[in-house]
Chain A
Amino acid sequence: MVLLILVIAAAAAPLLARFAPNDVDLRKLGSAPSRVHWFGTDDLGRDEFSRSLHAGRVSLSIGILSALVAAVVGTTVGALAGYYGGLVESALMRLVDVVLSVPPLPLVIVLSAVARSTPLTLILIIAGIGWMGTARLVRSSFLTIREGEYVEAARAIGCRSLRIILRHALPNSLGPVIVAGTLAVGNAIITESVLSFLGVGVRPPTATWGNMLQNAQSTMTTRPWLAVFPGLFILLSLLSVNAVGDGLRDALDVRLKA
């Protein structure tokens, strides 16, 4: 519900906000929240309310999409490794280990030198450094599931592997995937601001919750509202994404239905 409001508010940002998000007004630097500027203005005199809403568009879409990509990739790799075992498992899980062992920051710095940043590359980068955890989770739950009696039964009556994975094994391991996925949304929102610092993220003056929060660090004591509002938005969206995740699990988890 809250998420829905957030999404609608972000989508309708141009209609709701009286000021353009990137309009600099040097006469109104850092003014406190007022009737004109509901959330105050930032250190360049830009309307914080408008920036928060517009930032939501970027942050929510990057957060949700990259979490989704990471979840899909991670689940696929984990499912294949866990179900087939043996050589496939060794190969895939060693790949996960290799990717995990590459420290993400130097990697991103190199990428920033070669790639021009676009929203798509950003989503891919964030997903690319975040899918391994899900892969491990899914693999471990598949390891137990594939020995389960219902899987054996399915195999005995001649179901094909793909059907067993999708129909029987996957729904049973969805719980942890959803939890990991919802947490990843929050991570992605913060990671984006780190990436901006390294030169591959969203470019100024475009606002994101992450970069608003980061810019507010130095003025935390003097203009707290600059940190409070984006922080509140991140908190709210995380809570609601988590709630949505819980709901999804309740709806999808076959074990809870029994």
Chain B
Amino acid sequence: MFRSSMCGRLLLNLPLLLVVVATAMMVGGPGAVGAPRDDQLVIAFDKEPDTLNPYATHVLAAKEIDVVEGFHATNEKMEYIPRVVQRVPTVTNAGLTITAGKMTVTWRLKPGLKWSDGQPVTSADAEFTYKAMTDPSFRVDSRAGWPIIESVKTPDPQTVVVAFKDSYAGYRDLFRYLLPKHMLEGKDLNTYSDYNRSPVTTAPFSIQQWLPGQFLVTVANPNYRGAAQGLPHIKKITWRFVPDANTRINMLRTGEAQVAWALPFEQIKPLQSAPGLKVIVHPLNAWMHFDFNLRKPMFQDVRLRQAVAYAIDKEAIVSQVLGGLGKPAGPPITPLSWAHNPNAYSQYKYDLARAKALVAEAGWRPGSDGILQKDGKPFTFDNCLNTGDATQERVQQVIQAMLRSIGMNMEIRNFSAVVYGEIRFKGECDTLFHRWIVPATPVLSIFYSADAMPPNGLNEDFYANAEITEIIKEAESTIDQPKAKALFWRAQEILARDLPTIPIYYMVAAQATTSRLQGLVGNPTNDGDGWNIEEWRLGP
């Protein structure tokens, strides 16, 4: 309350505002009020959440500010770690059994857990979460995986036994958030704002105040399971909503904030040398890729797709255009994943002579203007990208120049987000330059299965291959990791052979903080960089 009335006064009183800001700058304190304290943090956050019910939104804010959690999360190495459960169930620790093709997973909750309002956490909450997620009236962002569950049983308050209709390797991504039954039972989850704006939680932080359009304040949850060990170290965090990246960085520079969330790529290098600041660059489980639309006639001949692969100098793109921030890509599973096949796509080393030979083999000859021709038709195609990311647009133009050097005329046709989504799903572009970010459990089916063409999935290559569709399906339902790995490796080899897509580079993300902040390491998946927020500290 103090803060909001203060804000009202600040708006009315400009001289006072200047004095306060100046004072804040001098002491480098957190925010415009109060003396600097090492257990409080102001974070200039890039967005405002729409709802804090994490199942109901694709905005990751609730996860990022760490006011919700569930059975597991993934850490900075993409390993699954237990949250409210004692351990991650696997075949080895007997938490997972398969009989006659059906999988049963048993989770045991940590003892003595309490919700932030003091109520006990029990297996009934998990059962309630399952019921909510399979209730068609609850408008969720994604129900992926939930329909595979056959039943959820709760033999005692500590134990959750989930029987699946099939085997399903993505089981650890279910129950990522636990919903509190005692608060939500009988309520309409779509509109119940008591929860959606201030969820009762088991996470390190809970909501103290949310002023729409301004900021959100989270405070240490007194019933957090680590409270006895002093976790979280930071006791109060103010998340200021600042969509403009330059403003976020200025707030960090002036000491008004200690973290400038989601540092844009172009700002990484300039800020790395700034005194008193620290830039944390970490790999993302994401990659930019050049996609062929196989419904169009242009690239039906695989030799032309290969020529494109040989003509794009990924090493130069990463070292020069990206300044070394990222990695030249191989297959469409990143090196962060156990399923990554380093051999797949390794045949496509930058080789202009090879590219030209393949093009000639396919019957295309350079015309007088240097553009390839066949039967009097020039080799012209378009490439679409979502506008707004300067780095991606820059790389796209480099690719354009590289393809021009083997005589291919790539026309750039970029669109703002709404139109772009529409156009690529309709398959109107010859090629795309696009980004995928995926969870820790490897996934290929939504991108490359024959049955995943839009609107049923994200197979925007319109790539139809019965063999790989089968292999991917089997790989994704195989629990035994070595077996699954062999299948994924095979799938990546087929993709490299058929080339519906050419991954260009594996991406990184960055956060900028005061050099006093310790513990922020980032997270490659959409668990978000706040995943270990309870361990953050402000040093001297």
Contact = CB atoms under 8 A, between A and B. Distances in A.
A218 to B, nearest CB: 4
B158 interface: no
A50 B398 CA distance: 18
Interface residues of A, number: 23
Contact of A113 (B396, B414, B423): B423
B4 to A, nearest CB: 33
B321 A203 contact: no
A256 interface: no
Given A24-B397, A29-B320, A29-B321, A199 B270 contact: no
A43 B401 contact: no
A24 B418 CA distance: 30
Nearest to A116: B413
Contacts of B269: 222
Interface string B361-405: 000000000000000000000000001101001101110111000
A203 B380 CA distance: 14
Nearest to A114: B419
Given A198-B416, A199-B416, A204 B400 contact: yes
Nearest to B317: A26
A58 to B, nearest CB: 15
Find the residue from A43, A215, A218, A222 having the highest chain B CB count within 10 A: A218
A71 to B, nearest CB: 29
Contacts of A219: 266
B313 to A, nearest CB: 8
Contacts of B387: 197-199
Contacts of B267: 218
Interface in A192-207: 197-199, 203-205
A199 B401 contact: no
Interface in B215-272: 264, 266-267, 269-270
B398 A26 contact: yes
A218 B267 CA distance: 8
B16 interface: no
Given A113-B419, A113-B423, A205-B412, A222 B394 contact: no
Interface in B331-388: 387-388
Interface string A164-204: 00000000000000000000000000000000011100011
Contact of A44 (B394, B412, B420, B422): B394
A204 B423 contact: no
B19 interface: no
B415 A23 contact: no
B18 interface: no
Contacts of B414: 199, 203-204
A217 B394 CA distance: 13
A203 B411 contact: yes
B369 to A, nearest CB: 13
Contact of B397 (A29, A113, A198, A205): A205
Contacts of B270: 221-222
A3 B22 CA distance: 47
A112 interface: yes
Nearest to B416: A198
A222 B414 CA distance: 27
A65 to B, nearest CB: 23
A199 B419 contact: yes
A177 B418 CA distance: 37
Contacts of A199: 387, 413-416, 419-420
A26 B388 CA distance: 22
Find the residue from B400, B411, B416 having the highest chain A CB count within 10 A: B416
A109 interface: yes
A121 interface: no
Contact of B266 (A26, A44, A218): A218
Contacts of B316: 26
Given A44-B394, A199-B414, A218-B264, A205 B400 contact: yes
A221 B249 CA distance: 13
A109 B398 contact: no
Interface string A41-84: 00110000000000000000000000000000000000000000
Contacts of B393: 204, 215
A22 interface: yes
Given A199-B387, A222-B270, A23 B416 contact: no
A221 B402 CA distance: 29
A22 B419 contact: no
A218 B245 CA distance: 11
B484 to A, nearest CB: 39
B320 to A, nearest CB: 4
Given A26-B316, A113-B423, A44 B398 contact: yes
Q: List the 6 shortest-distance A-B pairs measured between CB atoms, nearest first.
A: A24-B401, A199-B415, A218-B266, A26-B320, A204-B412, A113-B419
Interface of B: 264, 266-267, 269-270, 316, 320-321, 387-388, 390, 393-394, 396-398, 400-402, 411-416, 418-420, 422-423
Interface of A: 22-24, 26-27, 29, 43-44, 109, 112-113, 197-199, 203-205, 215, 217-219, 221-222
5 contacts: A29-B320, A43-B394, A112-B415, A198-B387, A205-B400
